[in-house]
Amino acid sequence: MSDLHQTPLHALHLSLGAKMVPFAGYDMPVQYPMGVLQEHLHTRAKAGLFDVSHMGQVRVTGADYASAAAALEQLIPVDILGLAENRQRYGFFTNAQGGIRDDLMLANGGDHVFIVVNAACKAADIAYMQAELTDVTVTEITDRALLALQGPAAEAVLSTLDARAAGMRFMDVATLTLAGAECWVSRSGYTGEDGYEISVPADQAVALAEALLAHQDVAPIGLGARDSLRLEAGLCLYGHDIDTGTNPAEAALGWAIQKVRRTGGARAGGFVGADVVLPALAEGAARKRVGLLPQGRAPMREGVPLFASEEATTQIGAITSGGFGPTVGAPVAMGYLPTDLSANGTTVWGELRGKRLPLTVAAMPFTPANFKR
């Protein structure tokens, strides 16, 4: 018997012919019979349905929203107090060294903060919040699944179940009634496409997934295409592109730290690692996360070392994510380079199977984002 956790959609994945793999302690679908390439292209053209129920759903409650937000601002360097009701934003926990403990999404739920954290980190994240934030209540929500509906047809599809979906804009959150279930919905995702993330009661998750899959434009999508979609979108995968040793300034995530939390802002600092993070944002970091386009046809994956020239002996960086970009039609990658070699158009060299091959530093995303602003 496997000791892997199963999501509420596990039996549905098997019935759809999914190939299952262990991921973050869960038995998860990596692909369906359509295959990773076609699943990726289908999501960009129509709509894909992803099971992301392995991620952690957490409610943080205080005397009111402001007290919960103020508490969380001690751990997360973004403007949570200033987030409007029914709005969501990206954030992360920092550590004392200025590194990233995990990245997350957080929403103003009116009287609480709703947070979604990564599956591999969720137990540690929840324990960390509970230990550090003694004046608020941190509750893991264990009776809800999480689905993502992503792609240009997502709005039309979800609107057939609740017309209010169409009125939402990027990073709005709302409570919708979908296939009879009360769902907490955000207009967001991690593919670079328009779409929604849907928290649904676990016992109604299969019915909702089946209702969405009944639409001709919706196909089930596995973790394989989820990874290639987010890579083309230039989005970080925790534990690969960012980790406890990565400063937000290096990771090109400074955009997520609003002015009010930066040096000179009304609530500057006050978060773990601020003495490291804020100077790095102000002065610039020594290295930077960049997009990379291998010049040949061979994908260059995580761990490939980078060099300044074909002959150089000193490694200057490494690829943190890479693979074939189906929409781009060529290999894409991201990694870290010294800031003075990080300008778009710079050529660097990766060592693949003992051979040096050229890559060009390129802007991300590799394919334009299609969010509904």
68-82 tens-digit pLDDT: 999 999 999 999 999
Q: What is the pLDDT of residue 373?
A: 80
Q: Is 197 annotated as a binding residue?
A: yes
Q: Which residue has 């991300």 as its token pair? A: 364
Q: Percent of the chain beyond pLDDT 90? A: 98
Q: What is the CATH number of domain 1-246?
A: 3.30.1360.120
- Span 188-203, mean pLDDT? 98
Q: What is the CATH number of domain 286-372?
A: 2.40.30.110
pLDDT tens digit sequence for 8-43: 999 999 999 999 999 999 999 999 999 999 999 999
- The domain locations on the chain are 1-246, 286-372
Token couple for 331: 């290999």
Among 319, 315, 286, residue whose Cα is nearest residue 300: 319
Peptide bond into 326 cis (omega under 30): no
Model confidence at 1: pLDDT above 70: no
Model confidence at 161: pLDDT above 80: yes
Report in angstroms the alpha-carbon separations of 114 from 79, 183, 205.
Answer: 14, 13, 19
Q: What is the pLDDT of residue 55?
A: 98
pLDDT tens digit sequence for 84-106: 999 999 999 999 999 999 999 99
Give the burial class of 177: count Cβ atoms within 10 A of its Cβ; 0-12 exposed, 13-18 middle, 19 or more buried.
exposed
Q: Percent of the chain beyond pLDDT 70? A: 99
User: How many CB atoms are located within 10 Å of the residue 98 CB?
Assistant: 24
pLDDT tens digit sequence for 202-249: 999 999 999 999 999 999 999 999 999 999 999 999 999 999 999 999
The residues that bridge with 174 in the sheet, in sequence order, are 185
Cβ pair 263, 282 in contact under 8 A: yes
Give the burial class of 63: count Cβ atoms within 10 A of its Cβ; 0-12 exposed, 13-18 middle, 19 or more buried.
exposed
* pTM greater than 0.75: yes
Q: What is the pLDDT of residue 311?
A: 97
Q: What is the pLDDT of residue 23?
A: 97
Q: What is the pLDDT of residue 134?
A: 92
